Amino acid sequence: MELLSDYVRVYDDALDPEFCKKLISFFEANKVFHDPVDHGGLPTFTQYNLTKNLGALHPFSKELADACKEHTKKYVDDLKIKFLPEKHSWEMFRIKKYTPGGKDRFDEHVDVADHKSAKRYLAFFTYLNDVEEGGETLFTGYNGDMNHIKPKSGRMVVFPPLWLFPHSGLPPVSGDKYIISGYFHYL
């Protein structure tokens, strides 16, 4: 029998580091589309919504979708999952940037918190750069920390976005942290 922590999977080299650099450069070159995000009046990160701003045919979409599909198959095989939906849709890909200084972080939360987000059944996020100090993703559980994941370029994290998997994005210390995130939706 698997533990809850087994359902948080980390796959290194899910995206090529050069592709990650292109995504970061694209993000930085398109500041006009950046949206600051805050929770409770606290800045948490700045994001660029690829689907909203350039549509589903964005030049990065295919490579991102292919990586998510490939690692979903690995996830299903690793956990011997029998009932993952065959048909799905995507939620937009978002590039997020967290800057050092303690303000940019994402305090403990879950990714399905209301009726609107209940269509999410699998979450993906991929670190686009290495962060030497800070910036970890911390999954918490009933017995304390389940997983403490260090940002590494190309590292993908796959997990159910449900109430059983609270997590937080710790503030980066040594430099900026970039991630790209997305979700599979039930049809």
CATH number at residue 36: 2.60.120.620
**Residue 181 forms part of a structural domain:** no
Class of residue 137 by CB neighbours under 10 A (exposed 0-12, middle 13-18, buried 19+): buried
121 within a domain of the structure (yes/no): yes
Show the DSSP H helices in 2-111 as ranges.
17-29, 50-54, 61-79
**Angle at Cα 6 formed by Cα 17 and Cα 185, nearest 5°?**
70
Number of structural domains found in the chain: 1
Q: Does 184 fall in a domain?
A: no
pLDDT for 171 equals 93
pLDDT, residue 41, reads 67
Q: What is the pLDDT of residue 1?
A: 53
> What pLDDT is stored for residue 146 in this prediction?
67
In this structure, is the dihedral angle defined by the CA atoms of residues 169, 181, 18 and 69, taken in order, positive or negative?
positive
84: containing domain? 7-175
The low-confidence residues of the chain, meaning pLDDT below 50, are: none
Q: How far apart are CA 81 and CA 73, in angstroms?
A: 10
- pLDDT, position 165: 92
Separation CA 122–CA 165 (nearest Å): 11
